[in-house]
Amino acid sequence: MGKNLVEKIVSQHQAAGVMLAGEEVGIRIDQTLFNDTQGTMAFLQFEAMGMLAVQTKLTVVYIDHQTLQDGFENADDHCYLQTAASKFGAKYSKAGNGICHQIHLERFSRPGWTLLGTDSHTPTSGAVGMLAMGAGALDGAVATGGGPFYLTYPKVIRISLSGRLQPWCTAKDVVLEVLRLQGTTGNAGTVIEYGGEGIACLTVPERATITNMGTELGVTTSLFPSDLVTRKFFAAQQREAQWVEFLPDKDASYDRLIEIELD
């Protein structure tokens, strides 16, 4: 029996537990991202653990949420985060660069890798085949220190898209249809994996619209395969050398299959 994308990523990153739906599994995290809402607490916890440097392949701190300067608090947080990033070996994205989940998709996302972020829309990077999940400050700090991230191994729903988007229809209409079908509750412990010949008409920014709004479904995350469309996106970002094809096996199994026609 072949593997779906979730099974491939988790099996390559498994550190503890078992890969059975509903059971706890621990996975190694390749990248972490912090925004300035929870980043301060995360790095304070990271320091409290006695860590001397980040242990991930990449950690990025984004100044993108608490940018209103009506007091000293936000400015103090930003100064702390800038010095913490420098001290511990994280990258620092200053205010004005852009919002974390969009910039991370463009600059740092990698097919087949894992990402944990203290932003609920971290799953945006699932648009390129990354297992990207939102979490709290403590989970982010532990992962940044090299500890595994523990989660309930999810059920995997495949949403197969067919046809092409028609004029005046957008990627947001696709995810709104998924929301209509699935609702906004009862989806915890689930990952949505998109596939089918219809995904070929969706650019990575369009796929990112869909994975971003997977947060509104309440799922663990959403992701697309990494294909030639993904390669074109990486080339446009001058990162083609970091692209790899990442597809589910043809005989992969899923807990549920949903078919949506784009026509």
Where residue 70 falls among pLDDT bands split at 50, 70, 90?
confident
User: Is residue 75's pLDDT more than 90?
Assistant: no
Position 13 scores a pLDDT of 98
- Residue 9's closest CA among 154, 140, 141? 154
User: Is residue 68's pLDDT more than 80?
Assistant: no
User: Is residue 1's pLDDT more than 90?
Assistant: no
What's the predicted TM-score (pTM) here? 0.96
Segment (H or E) for 227 = none
Cβ–Cβ under 8 Å, residues 138 and 118:
no
Residues 6+ apart with CB under 8 A from 143: 29, 32, 56, 116, 135, 149
- Residue 247's closest CA among 2, 1, 5? 5
pLDDT in tens, 233-262: 999 999 999 999 999 999 999 999 999 999
Position 211 scores a pLDDT of 98
pLDDT in tens, 130-147: 999 999 999 999 999 999
Cβ–Cβ under 8 Å, residues 85 and 61:
yes
Where residue 67 falls among pLDDT bands split at 50, 70, 90?
confident
Q: What is the assigned CATH class of domain 5-261?
A: alpha beta
Average pLDDT score over residue span 24-44:
96
Position 100 scores a pLDDT of 96
In angstroms, the CA 37 to CA 66 distance is 6
Rg (CA), the chain: 18
126 three-state secondary structure: helix
Residues 6+ apart with CB under 8 A from 63: 35, 36, 78, 81, 92, 93, 94, 95, 97
Position 164 scores a pLDDT of 95
Domain ranges of the chain: 5-261
Q: Which of 60-64, 70-74, 88-92, 182-186 has the lowest mean pLDDT?
A: 70-74
- The backbone torsions φ and ψ at residue 195, rounded to the nearest 5 degrees and listed phi first, read -160, -165
